[in-house]
Amino acid sequence: MSREDQLSSYDYPLPEELIAKVPLESRDASRLMVLDRRQGSIDHRTIRDLPELLKTGDALVLNNTRVLPARLFGLRTATGGKWEGLYLGSTANGLWRLIGQTRGYLRTGETVTITNPVGEKLLLKLIEKEADGVCQFEASTGCAIESLPRFGTVPLPPYMDRKVATEADWERYQTTFAQHPGSVAAPTAGLHFTPELLDRCQQKGIRRAEVTLHVGIGTFRPVSVENLAEHRMHSEWCELPASTAERLTSVRAEGGRVVAVGTTSLRTLESACHARGPEHPPAFHEWRGETNLFIRPPYTFFSTDVLLTNFHLPKSTLLMLIAAFGGFDFVMEAYRVAIAERYRFFSYGDAMLIL
């Protein structure tokens, strides 16, 4: 088993104080580490420098998913015991899929009552338990997309050390270009963009394209096997629209670069470009569906020339993707530099641009 195939190779010591638990005052105030793969160099800039670091004719690919208020707090109707859940999606027949925790175990047929600040009640009745800890509930209010804003809250990552989102979280744990609700976590590289920064990119002649990937529970689940070949990657729904496929094909034909904003955009692009199978050459084309693509070294990228990303958790599949794109040794050295230079890590943290 090679070094890149071992989970322990992606570990690194991170001081607790470098975990960004609250956002900076401004979205575009974050620092930006610039990795130049050709030169083997590391430079230190800011997110506001991004238009100068990219070229006229490049295209930013943004993930326009919208984070759902997917975290729910309630009481077991029969016992009054506290219950906490995370909405993951709905089945074809309208049942809500959630993971939850409570003292003891919910039994099939048992209900949970969720009461919002204005006194409205949502009842969730347990219908079926799936094999992986996910449960299917019948909801008294029906459609989750309409109900969650009334009863749920922003599902913050565990390392932020707070279960209940603040007023700032409701705004800042969402990109300014979010459109399609469906994620339980933010596409964090996109959190740095203000409308003004996007305008400056446009004025430079940097084009914009959008994809959708709804971030799922796999974001919070750690890799549990040392041999990465044995890891079962979670599935997430994504879409590459025809308009984006056409724009990116044109960008490449004109000598521009495809700049993926975040690992979610990159996974969507790679999934779509290879969706027709190995018998077809990879190409940008309209596609939507579930992807369980696990990108780790070694991997040959077709879709993406430049990647903007945050700093990711140790031993995470996101760090493995970054190592595949930037080169294992180069990326792990960059993380050591980031710690020495006191960069801020994770969702509300600083960013890395890999050229």
Q: Answer yes or no: is pLDDT of 276 > 80.
A: yes
**Within this chain, do residues 61 and 129 fall inside the same structural domain, yes or no?**
no
Q: Is 130 inside a domain boundary?
A: yes
**Within this chain, do residues 148 and 263 fall inside the same structural domain, yes or no?**
no
- Torsion of Cα atoms, 182 then 347 then 59 then 235, to 10°: -40
Number of domains in the chain: 2
Query: What are the helix (H) ranges across the chain?
Result: 50-53, 144-151, 167-172, 195-203, 242-253, 263-273, 317-326, 328-340
Mean pLDDT over residues 242-269, rounded? 98
Q: Is 110 inside a domain boundary?
A: yes
**Within this chain, do residues 82 and 63 fall inside the same structural domain, yes or no?**
no
**Within this chain, do residues 135 and 205 fall inside the same structural domain, yes or no?**
no
Q: Is 14 inside a domain boundary?
A: yes
Angle at 300 between CA 296 and CA 303, to 5 degrees: 105
Give the C-alpha separation, 287 to 276, whole Å.
Answer: 10
**Within this chain, do residues 222 and 340 fall inside the same structural domain, yes or no?**
yes
Tell me the CATH number at 201. 3.40.1780.10
Which among 99, 126, 152 is the end of a domain? 152
Mean pLDDT over residues 258-286, rounded? 96
**Within this chain, do residues 116 and 236 fall inside the same structural domain, yes or no?**
no
Q: Which of these, 200, 222, 279, 189, lies nearest to 7 by C-alpha position?
A: 222
Q: Which tokens is 276 given? A: 């027709």
Q: What is the pLDDT of residue 25?
A: 94
**pLDDT, tens digit, 9 for 90 and up, residues 159-171:** 999 988 999 999 9
Q: Which tokens is 73 given? A: 């707090």
Q: Is 158 inside a domain boundary?
A: no
**pLDDT, tens digit, 9 for 90 and up, residues 57-104:** 999 999 999 999 999 999 999 899 999 999 999 998 999 999 999 988
Q: Locate tokens 């913050």: which residue?
A: 156
Mean pLDDT over residues 222-229, rounded? 93
Mean pLDDT over residues 250-266, rounded? 98
Q: What is the pLDDT of residue 210?
A: 98
**Within this chain, do residues 58 and 91 fall inside the same structural domain, yes or no?**
no
Q: Answer yes or no: is pLDDT of 34 > 80.
A: yes
**pLDDT, tens digit, 9 for 90 and up, residues 277-335:** 889 999 999 999 999 999 999 999 999 999 999 999 999 999 999 999 999 999 999 99
**Within this chain, do residues 83 and 198 fall inside the same structural domain, yes or no?**
no
Sign of CA dihedral 89, 95, 97, 103: positive
**Within this chain, do residues 56 and 189 fall inside the same structural domain, yes or no?**
yes
Q: Is 163 inside a domain boundary?
A: no
For the chain, the average pLDDT equals: 95
Q: What is the pLDDT of residue 234?
A: 86
Is 3 in a helix, a strand, or coil? helix
Which among 118, 152, 186 is the end of a domain? 152
Is 111 in a helix, a strand, or coil? strand
211, 244 Cβ separation under 8 angstroms: yes
Q: Is 240 inside a domain boundary?
A: yes
> Domain range for residue 324?
3-67+169-354
Tell me the CATH number at 146. 2.40.10.240
- pLDDT class of 245 with cuts at 50, 70, 90: very high
**Within this chain, do residues 218 and 100 fall inside the same structural domain, yes or no?**
no
Q: Is 254 inside a domain boundary?
A: yes
Q: What is the pLDDT of residue 159?
A: 92
Q: Is 162 inside a domain boundary?
A: no
**Within this chain, do residues 94 and 234 fall inside the same structural domain, yes or no?**
no
Q: What is the pLDDT of residue 220?
A: 67
Which among 123, 152, 181 is the end of a domain? 152
- Residue 181's DSSP bridge partners are 66
Q: Which tokens is 107 given? A: 């039994």
**Within this chain, do residues 8 and 97 fall inside the same structural domain, yes or no?**
no
Which residues are CB-contacts of 202 (< 8 A; sequence separation ≥ 6)?
Answer: 208
Give the C-alpha separation, 331 to 243, whole Å.
Answer: 33
